[in-house]
């Protein structure tokens, strides 16, 4: 496995609509493994292929598995989600405000309104159809990563942006 460089907004790949994954062969499997390693090392809770300069509709998501996360997220804590061609097919009407960061925009966080619950369809790493119901923090992470596949950054929809070191502990968010 290899750690991949995470690109920043000056790279045009972050603003392009990513292409559909059509082949689930060894090349994709290596990319998935490298993305998981990169996300973990960063550290982050989500990573989209465009963030590592690969314009494909592929995301990896894993919430922290520390004790606090286990209490808050239950069985979702530490579970790895690999989703090719993810699509939100259902979203709750309820929107919630939360703090987000991004591995492609280091040093900044912002408040973003997101759907409290979403249902996502796509394929797993082997091309098998999957369906995921997500709520709260997991739903936020999926929405953030899927936005990357459409060339949208959280900074495009953030209500407020700041550097975490300029605020107290309550102003920090996990980078995604």
Catalytic site residues? 145
For residue 152, give both structure tokens: 């949208």
Q: Strand order of the sheet with strand 58-62?
A: 46-48, 58-62, 80-91, 117-123, 129-135
The HSE-up count of residue 15 (CA atoms within 13 Å, CB side) is 7
Q: Centre a 10 Å sphere on the Cβ of residue 175 and count the other Cβ atoms it contains.
A: 22
In sequence order, the 6+-apart residues with CB closer than 8 A to the CB of 162 are 108, 109, 110, 171
Q: What is the DSSP letter of 3?
A: P
Q: Strand order of the sheet with strand 109-115?
A: 95-101, 109-115, 160-162
DSSP letters spanning 35-55: HHHHHHHTT-SEEEGGGGT--
Q: Centre a 10 Å sphere on the Cβ of residue 129 and count the other Cβ atoms it contains.
A: 9
């Amino acid at each position: 496995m290899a750690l991949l460089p995470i690109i920043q907004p000056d790279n045009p790949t972050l603003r392009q609509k990513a292409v559909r994954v059509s082949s689930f062969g060894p090349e994709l499997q290596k990319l998935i493994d490298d993305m998981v390693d990169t996300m973990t090392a960063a550290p982050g809770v989500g990573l989209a292929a465009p963030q590592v300069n690969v314009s494909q509709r592929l995301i990896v998501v894993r919430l922290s598995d520390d004790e606090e996360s286990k209490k808050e997220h239950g069985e979702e804590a530490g579970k790895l989600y690999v989703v090719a061609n993810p699509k939100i097919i259902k979203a709750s009407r309820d929107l919630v405000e939360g703090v987000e960061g991004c591995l492609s925009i280091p040093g900044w966080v912002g408040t973003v309104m997101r759907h409290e619950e979403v249902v996502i369809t796509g394929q797993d790493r082997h091309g098998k159809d999957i369906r995921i119901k997500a709520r709260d923090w997991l739903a936020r992470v999926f929405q953030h990563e899927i936005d990357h596949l459409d060339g949208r950054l959280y900074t495009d929809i953030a209500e407020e942006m700041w550097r975490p070191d300029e605020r107290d502990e309550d102003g920090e968010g996990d980078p995604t």
